[in-house]
Amino acid sequence: MGLRRAIVLFALMEVTWSLSVTTIGPETVSTDASAHPEPAEENTEQKEAAEEDVMATGELNPNHYPAQRAAKVVQHYLNLRHGSPYKLFGLKEVHSGNAEEVADSGRKYQLEISVHEIISNTKEKCSAEVFFPSGAKQLSPQVQVSSCEEILKLDAKSEEEALYQQYKTNKTVCTEKRLPDSYGHVDPEMTPFWHLSIVASSFIMLKESTENTLYNMAQVANITQLATENDQLKFDCHVLLHDMVSQEIPQWKLLFTWSPAEGVKVLHTEQLPHIHQSEKQAKPN
């Protein structure tokens, strides 16, 4: 075979190959002809997911829900313990996690996370442990946090003190508007009280959290300031929580106090019944 023919043959083969690559379409992507999904086989990712349903143990994928749900509990703990009208914590990222059974009493998670102080926009890596007790009576998870000192020491004392003095005797908070409103807006004057409501709600969110929940505060329906008591500002508020897993909006009433010195103390909580009536006929405003 002449060189020219060999070159032509080689070129034809090349072209044929690239043509066949070109014509791959969606029909050939799914290898099975049937429209039904395949049962999970050697896919480790999927196997992990199946195992996680049976309660993940050992090293956790930080992007998967078990570590994420446990980390959210840490957020609620930090907000309750260290939150204020000018200090609010969010979960930035989960870096790693580990879960283990604690014989007959529950499950413990160890987490490396990044926590974000939302108002100052600072970030810090923290280590945390979350223990979910087992048993018929639902007990609150227990949280321990370490190596997170900087972000917790962030100073908002002067703003807190100014707010405290302003509302201790002179002004009173009472709002008809929801926080945030339907458009995501919070009046600047109400923002510290929106933050305070999140902190107070964290008491409930922490208490109610399990491995099968993921809570955020959805909205403050209303917040009313009551008479100052023992130098603590006192508030009554109605909050709407959102549980991502059930997609429900549990509603709670909270009675709590706050001062820069004492932080938030929740005095009384009451869960409101699932409101069905208002869902049937909404009257336009």
Identify whether the C-beta of residue 21 lies closer than 8 Å to the C-beta of residue 28: no
Nearest to 266 by CA among 276, 257, 274: 257
Q: Closest separation between CB of residue 165 and other proteins, Å? A: 28
> Which two structure tokens, joined as six digits, stand for 11?
């070129």
- The separation between the first and the last C-alpha atoms of the chain, rounded to the nearest angstrom, is 88
Nearer to other proteins, 55 or 245 (CB): 245
Q: How far is the CB of 88 from other proteins (least distance, A)?
A: 8
Complex with other proteins: residue 118 or 152, whichever CB lies closer? 118
As a whole number of angstroms, the distance between CA 89 and CA 87 comes to 7
Nearest distance from residue 257's CB to other proteins, in Å? 24
106-117/89-102 β-pairing: antiparallel
Alpha-carbon distance 193 to 179, whole Å? 9
Q: Of the two residues 31 and 230, which places its CB atom closer to other proteins in the complex?
A: 31
Residue 222 bridge partners (DSSP): 238
For residue 217, list its beta bridge partners.
241
The CB density around residue 252, as the number of other CB atoms within 10 Å, is 21
Closest to other proteins by CB, 93 or 228: 93
* Minimum gap (Å) between residue 76 Cβ and other proteins: 11
**Minimum CB–partner distance for residue 232 and other proteins (Å):** 26
Instruction: Give the nearest distance from C-beta 203 to other proteins in angstroms.
Output: 17
Tokens representing 1? Answer: 């075979």
Nearest to 58 by CA among 67, 68, 45: 67
Task: Name residue 165's amino acid.
Answer: Q
User: In the structure encoding, which two tokens stand for residue 229, read together?
Assistant: 């008591």
Comparing CB distances to other proteins, the nearer of 27 and 104 is 27
Whole-number minimum distance, CB 13 to other proteins, in Å? Answer: 10
Q: Which is nearer to other proteins, 53 or 104 (CB)?
A: 53
Q: Which pair of tokens denotes residue 234?
A: 């006192």
Closer to other proteins by CB, 178 or 234: give it: 178
